[in-house]
Structure 1
């Protein structure tokens, strides 16, 4: 029998560190919770609800939000509750941990459910029938866009609930390489990608688009191969460069369009073929301050509306589109051109879309034909792509590849980053009127989850030893 291995100490150190940091602020956080709890004697968002009670045309909806434990899921729940709607929260669970997440403790919820990952679709349908849900917004990262699309087909065929997720056809299209074909067939600009098998085909592509820049490389490059930029400064240099390349059917090359001004991401809420919310994320923090950038943002919004319209009236969901900005030259002018380079869909898009902007409640309600919203009144917001600290697995990597001193310095850096996340004014779960989700997440759910992960990893390490 092989020796029974134990959990690597570096992984255990990581879990213990997070637990210790969580409890290091418990006395301060208890004080904050006590004083903010005094606000609980006041009605939740009293002025908004009083205004809605006076509005005889207001009919509250029942909203189901899965993934209530995520910051964006909780933000949506609070926004819907602030408007006077009835909010049901749910978490998709793939662990046996019996502790509820922090978001489930929010006073914005009227009910909470735990949905096992193995019975995702059936339990979603059960909750919607039980609570008479009008709108379902999936925010859980534990369910894929395909699973949400399958659930939508089941829900909308059996109930009157509207689902803010794409159907199966669009979900499959947005999840793979077929997106490029989908966009090209609808006449939208796409970043060019060619698999060329002769020099003549390369010349034809360059002649067809003289203002564009390309990079050519082997389809199966080796370590010593380098990509070449085309076209060259003169036609003769371009011909000379290509004459030195052997391109055949057996040895094809890849010709890919280059972009000279960087990449941009457009986060979208599309409802019934209309863009109801859009945020343009710029990869360079220096963008967004000039009138030219504002014009670029408006052009991106126009392009995204064209994409949404050509997806059809059944297209409803969240979508992030990756765009490339190129600078193309004519004889007497220069212009910026926008090309679609890829996309991602599903619940993970909501986190980027709702970061630092209000929740588009009216946009979600436009899923009902009786609540239309003029998409021309929607304006794009500009932001920079946030840089995330790579926390996962950094301690083992630091220990294996660096000296002990560097490991200690890395440990201090990680501890500082984790401690900053625990500060209440930097935690997206915290609001003065609803502080319990923040406190519960920091001091109950996360520590117990870390303990559970240590136990699970120890058991798995023990099973591998036999």
Structure 2
């Protein structure tokens, strides 16, 4: 007889905790929803739209935003609607849960669609044709950059809709080592990475760039190996250091350029080869306040504009570029040098770009030649990279491994407090006084039902494994 399927207590407790926290706030949140809903009767927003529609130069567009259930997708939808445009929302779904996300309940939307992950491209094309969409902005994390690029090729070849995502060629170039080759071929500064097979090749690289610092390590390091810094204080010490290591074709080493001042991330909106929005995220929380940091930000913006220009006029999309800042010494001066170290594209870029800054609606509209925007007027915004949040979902299972009941209870209280803070309306990015329903629906309808659905799914999977 097969064993009775059971859901691990750690996971079940986590789901139940989230559901209980959601329902514990329902009476308070209902009161907040009632009073904020009264603000909808204030005439500011309707008057704003009426004034825009009376403007003879204003031509409303139909905007499709996929990933409307994400905070950045909803923020975009609200920004476009506030400007008087017609916004269509869609969620890419890979679950059988028949409940709409909180973002889909926003009054900024005139229509909403659920797009199955298995039929992503065909359904996107159907929605664009049905709603006569002018601009499509993909914000869903469930679709890859390659999928969005493939959809762009299909959409722009069959409709007049403009897509804010890179085409297939650039999407491939922006992936992994292809990006390094792509940037190097265009003469932009790249963080050096060499696979060396002899000491002579190491000396040549060091001689070619005497102001740079490098780290050398085995291509397949062992637990006892450690990287060495080059060059040394003197040439003789450098030669001595290299003479003590064996570098051959069978046992190559990796020589990688060092950066002495840290890393920076540049989040970009590129439209037709022009940077229309840029945020510079500094890894050090102390950066951003001095005039030197402002100058560094301006230099990064200039470099990013060069990258966008060399990508061509068909380059339109969101891109995060990882940069390394090095301090290079000459005979009588010290200068900061910026090197490109990698990139990423997709929905995560939009989330970082739009955090705490207004949505660049005019920048998106510049995808049409009739709506040009002077990129010289664009200034980079500075922010510190927020610390990574710990994954509370992993704490409870770990707590069960301890025998102390008190330790588990304390961990449970800590996690509950963290989750409770996240549920507070003023901490939730979905909440705005003029559009509170998405926040309420997400907290008290979508998330609890999703937790129940996950419990049922995990129970079924556990049962299948038992049988």
Q: Verify same fold: TM over 0.5.
A: yes
**1:163-215 deviation line (CA, Å, top 9, x unaligned):** 00000011111122110000000000000000000000001111111111111
Q: What is the distance in 2 between the residues matched to 1:279 and 1:212?
A: 28
Show structure 2 runs of 5+ residues with no match. none
Cα deviation, residue 280, structure 1: 0.4
CA contact (8 A) 2:214 2:229 kept: yes
Once the two structures are TM-superposed, the CA of residue 49 in structure 1 deviates from its matched residue by 1.1
Deviations 1:288-316 (A, max 9, x none): 01000000000000000000000000000
In structure 2, how many angstroms separate the alpha carbons of the residues matched to 1:108 and 1:294?
A: 36
Cα offset for 1:56? 1.0
Q: Deviations over 1:373-401 (max 9, x none)?
A: 01000000001115323223222123336
Asked if the contact 1:149–1:166 (Cα under 8 Å) also holds between the matched residues in 2, the reply is yes
Counterpart-to-counterpart distance in 1, 2:393 and 2:341: 28
Deviations 1:247-278 (A, max 9, x none): 00000000000111110000000000000000
Instruction: From the superposition, tell whether residues 43 and 152 of structure 1 become closer, same or farther in structure 2 (CA, over 3 Å).
Output: farther
| Partner Cα separation in structure 1 for residue 399 and residue 211 of structure 2 | 46
Is the 1:194–1:256 Cα contact (8 Å) retained in structure 2? Answer: yes
Deviations 1:336-356 (A, max 9, x none): 110000000012210000000
Q: Which residue is 1:414 aligned to?
A: 415
On the 8 A contact 2:265/2:322 being kept in 1, the answer is yes
Taking the aligned partners of 1:250 and 1:402, their CA distance within structure 2 comes to 50
| Shift in CA distance, 303/8, structure 1 to aligned 2, threshold 3 Å | same
Residues in 2 aligned to 1:66 and 1:44: alpha-carbon distance in whole angstroms: 28
Partner Cα separation in structure 2 for residue 323 and residue 412 of structure 1? 40
Task: Assess if the C-alpha contact under 8 Å between 1:287 and 1:293 holds in 2.
Answer: yes
CA contact 1:195–1:252 (8 Å) conserved in 2? yes
8 Å contact kept, 2:176–2:342: no
- Report the CA distance between 1:367 and its aligned residue: 0.2
Displacement after TM superposition at 1:39 (Å): 1.6
SS of the counterpart of 1:440? helix
Q: Structure 1: which 5+ residue stretches go unaligned?
A: none
Q: CA deviation at 1:324?
A: 0.5
Seen in structure 2, the aligned counterparts of structure 1 residues 196 and 163 have a Cα distance that, compared at 3 Å, is same
Report if aligned partners of 1:273, 1:315 keep a CA contact under 8 Å in 2: yes
Aligned residue pair count: 466
Matched residue SS, 1:388? coil
Q: What is the Cα deviation at residue 44 of structure 1?
A: 6.7
Question: How far is 1:407 from its partner?
Answer: 2.9
**Distance in 2, Cα, partners of 1:459 & 1:374:** 57
TM normalised by structure 1 equals 0.98
Contact 2:14 2:393 in 1 (8 A): no
Deviations 1:76-126 (A, max 9, x none): 000000000000000000000000000000000000000000000000000
CA contact (8 A) 1:198 1:249 kept: yes
Deviations for 1:214-238, whole angstroms, at most 9, x for unmatched residues? 1100000011111101111111111
Alignment partners' CA distance in 2, 1:57 and 1:166: 29
For the 8 Å contact 1:44–1:433, the answer to whether it is kept is: no
Using the TM superposition, name which of 107-116 and 47-56 deviates more.
Answer: 47-56
How far apart in 1 are the matches of 2:211 and 2:408?
Answer: 50
Distance 1:404 1:283, change over 3 A: farther
Q: Does the C-alpha gap of structure 1 residues 98 and 181 become closer, same or farther in structure 2, counting only changes over 3 Å?
A: same
RMSD: 1.2
Alpha-carbon distance in 1 for matches of 2:404, 2:256: 42
Task: Report deviation, 1:417.
Answer: 1.2
Q: Which moved more, 1:45-54 or 1:454-463?
A: 45-54
Give the whole-Å Cα distance in 2 for the aligned partners of 1:91 and 1:275. 28
Task: Give, in angstroms, the shift of residue 43 of structure 1.
Answer: 4.5
In 1, the alpha carbon distance for the partners of 2:452 and 2:185 equals: 52
1:339 and 1:401 map into 2 onto residues whose CA distance is 46
**Equivalent position of 2:103 in the other structure:** 103
